[in-house]
Amino acid sequence: MAKLIYSAITSLDGYVADRDGNFDWAAPDEEVHAFVNDLERPIGTYLLGRRMYEVMGFWETPQAVEDQPPVMHDYAGIWRAADKVVYSGTLERASTDRTRIERAFDPEAVRMMKAAADRDLSVGGPTLAAQAIKAGLVDEYHLFLTPVLVGGGNPAFPDGVRQGLELLEERRFGSGVVHLHYRTKV
């Protein structure tokens, strides 16, 4: 069975965006970006909340990374090669290739996607990920803790979930970012 993976770049106090919606402090440097690229490369399908999808749409256009470093070109290729499922009640049409829209989050449908997939899946956007976490569908977590406290905003994790985790790997980067890789304990 393929795994469902939740990855998030967060502040040390656990937010993916601050109270003003900013997440410029989360932008990975080239060292972290290269590491993230290698984690994302094997993923076959991204499950995305509509908000995260709109941010990630940046990667669809080759011109967006034209003058950018090789890690960004690499990631643009990884993004374009993956299938995307966008969850949204409002999006009329997808603006990217290999994309389908789902109007509701059905845990059983995701269970079936995991069972049928030959490559792992990821879930992104904390509002959407919260539903997968609560349904017990997330197998692994990759957290990138950024050395900043932002004091509030959009939390990476929902309230009301208790889940034991096993640490699989950790890594420290030059920027002070720390990567933590956990597996869900059954």
Ligand X SMILES: NC(=O)c1ccc[n+]([C@@H]2O[C@H](COP(=O)([O-])OP(=O)(O)OC[C@H]3O[C@@H](n4cnc5c(N)ncnc54)[C@H](OP(=O)(O)O)[C@@H]3O)[C@@H](O)[C@H]2O)c1
Residues in contact with ligand X by CB under 6 A are 9, 16-17, 21, 23, 26, 49-52, 55, 87-91, 103-105, 125-128, 131, 154
In the numeric block, the tokens 């950790």 are attached to: 170
Pick 90 or 118: Cβ nearer ligand X:
90
**Closest distance between ligand X and the C-beta of residue 177, in Å?**
11
Neighbouring CB atoms inside 10 A of 182's CB total 20
Pick 38 or 166: Cβ nearer ligand X:
38
**Closest distance between ligand X and the C-beta of residue 85, in Å?**
11
**Closest distance between ligand X and the C-beta of residue 148, in Å?**
11
CA 66 to chain centre: 24
Beta bridge partners of 141: 6, 182
Buried b (16+ CB within 10 A) or exposed e, 121-136: bbbbbbebbbbbbeee
Beta bridge partners of 178: 145, 172
Q: Which residue is nearest to ligand X (CB)?
A: 125
Pick 132 or 182: Cβ nearer ligand X:
132
Pick 103 or 166: Cβ nearer ligand X:
103
Which tokens in the block code for residue 151? Answer: 């004091």
- 147: number of CA atoms within 13 Å, CB side? 8
Pick 45 or 131: Cβ nearer ligand X:
131
**Closest distance between ligand X and the C-beta of residue 118, in Å?**
26
**Closest distance between ligand X and the C-beta of residue 125, in Å?**
2
Distances from the Cα of 137 to the Cα of 17, 106, 182, angstroms = 24, 11, 14
